[in-house]
Structure 1
Amino acid sequence: MLLSKLFGIYPAETINSESPIARGFGAGGLLKMPQSRHTGIVLDEDHLPNGLTIDVSSPKTGPIILSATDRHSTYITGHPEYSEETLALEYYRDLYEQMPIRLPQNYFIDQDSGTVDYSWKASSIQIYDNWTKIIANQKVGLSI
């Protein structure tokens, strides 16, 4: 459990350029991912289970995307499926229910007007595009 909810949009700082799921991204924050969780991800990066690799990560979030190619598995710890207003709805819901909540980081351009920086949209589209290409290539037996 985290002391406070990991909540907002977080840029990746480390991207495995050899990973098919990370194609099209470079390091330096080009991949952004919504996060909304109360738990951390504890992994000993030097002793990962056989075949598991960390493809994308950030010091603030930990692993963002992991894969196990031999198992045809991809694990995403964030929420690329979130629409523009999802975190705002969650934030205002938690405020209304008087739950402990902070503003989502890197999300609102202007909280008073509710204006959101939809900065993760391109990342989400690229991740899903890469993912469908991986699946399609596996179906026809192409290496990726």
Structure 2
Amino acid sequence: MPIRVPKELPAIKVLEKEKIFVMDEDRAMHQDIRPLEILILNLMPKKDETEVQLLRLLSNTPLQINVEFLYMSSHEAKNTSSDHLKRFYYQFQEVKEKFYDGLIITGAPIEQLAFEEVDYWEELQEIFKWCKSHVFSTFHICWGAQAGLYYHHNIDKYLLEQKLTGVYAHDVLAPTWSILKGFDDTFFAPHSRYTGVKRCDVDKTEELEVLVESKEAGLFLIGNKNNRAFYATGHLEYDRETLQKEFERDQLKGIKPRLPQNYYPNDNTKELPQLRWHMAASLLFSNWLNYAVYQNTPYDLSKLLEE
């Protein structure tokens, strides 16, 4: 089944070229079913790229999904036009009375800042509080995961000795969890961050369990035992070239970045990077939508207030 998005969203053209079925509002009005309501809080600088990446993954289920986008009104976007935000995004004040089956909170390239130093931290805390009563299940990505763990469980991030960037092998530690159904024992996933979360801090938090971990990259996926929240420290949504673009961006800034690990064949930047994680990405997001959201969310979303 399709994902439903605004009919003029630029991401539609990219997805249609990939033969992904995208339904606009007009056609969706004739579908006599209760679609899933998914909200994406997009904190990434290049929002159009992240839109394509996440919509691509959300399309890989037989479920019809209504997708809406949210941005932080307390932050001035520098890499996305105000026209794009006005046409395709909501501010929190416009959606705070609504209910959603799922919420995705993306990463943001600000992990070296203390959470309280982030200009939209106050607004984000309001969203974290709101999602407890207005969202059934929330999927946090990278910095969004660290911010969620800090707000909900008082688990702070720590600064790594150098940026963790590359594609790493990960071990599935909790195969009985439905979000990991169908996974091999080991799979690959990209990381791109300067900070991490300590295993000991998660282990002493009763509500949480470490589901996936990497010997090289550390924790990858943490789940709340009630299936209402998941925290992924990496970027399974990334495209083949995303780490390359970040590497080249950092070079232009004069940062002298570390070459992404296990990414370029023979560490040769002139060779095409290997794409080794999209199967895992599709499976993880499909499982989240199916098992954590669709099979558990109430038909009447307003009942979330009763829980």
Specify if TM > 0.5.
Answer: yes
Aligned partners of 1:120 and 1:50: how far apart in 2? 30
Residue in structure 1 matched with residue 196 of structure 2 by the alignment: 40
1:80-95 equivalence runs, <5 A: 80-95=236-251
Q: What letter corresponds to residue 138 of structure 1 in structure 2?
A: N
Q: Higher Cα Rg: structure 1 or 2? A: 2
Q: Matched residue of 1:139: which SS?
A: coil
Question: Alignment partner of 2:287: what SS?
Answer: helix
The aligned runs of 1:95-106 (5 Å cut-off) are: 95-106=251-262
The answer to whether the 8 A contact 1:22-1:56 is kept is: no
Q: Is the 8 A contact 2:202 2:208 kept in 1?
A: no
The alignment's C-alpha RMSD in Å is: 1.9
Q: Do the aligned partners of 1:33 and 1:120 also contact (CA within 8 Å) in 2?
A: yes
Cα deviation code 1:13-65 (max 9, x no counterpart): 243111111111122x3x21110000121131784312201111112222111
AA in 2 matched with 1:50: E
Q: SS at 2:275's partner residue?
A: coil
How many Å separate the matches in 1 of 2:227 and 2:282? 24
Q: 1:16 to 1:45 in 2, by over 3 A?
A: farther
1:140 deviates by: 5.5
Residue aligned with 2:196, SS = coil
1:40-79 alignment runs, 5 A limit: 40-44=196-200, 47-70=203-226, 72-79=228-235
Identity %: 27
Paired letter, 2:272: T
Tell me what 2:290 maps to. Answer: 133
Distance 1:100 1:2, change over 3 A: farther
- The runs of 5 or more residues in structure 1 that have no matched partner are none
Q: Are 1:25 and 2:183 an aligned pair?
A: yes
Alignment check: 8 A CA contact 2:237 2:278 kept: no
Structure with the largest fraction of helix: 2
Offset of residue 136 of structure 1: 0.6
Report runs of 4+ in structure 1 exceeding 4 Å deviation. Answer: none
Q: Which runs of 5+ in 2 are unaligned?
A: 1-158, 300-307
Q: Partner of 2:303 in structure 1? A: none
Contact 1:15 1:25 in 2 (8 A): no
1:90 Cα deviation from its structure 2 partner: 0.2
2:136 alignment counterpart: none
Contact 2:202 2:210 in 1 (8 A): no
Map Cα deviations across residues 70-115 of structure 1 (whole Å, 9 max, x no partner): 2611111101111111000000111111103111111112634340
One-letter identity of the residue aligned with 2:181: R
AA paired with 1:57?
E
Match of 2:281 in 1: 124
Q: Report the 3-state secondary structure (helix = DSSP H, G, I; strand = E; otherwise coil) of the residue aligned with 2:297.
A: helix
Higher relative contact order (CA 8 A, sep 6+): 1
TM-score, normalising length from structure 1? Answer: 0.87
Measured in 2, the distance between the counterparts of 1:96 and 1:51 equals: 43
Which moves more between the two structures, 132-141 or 11-20?
A: 132-141
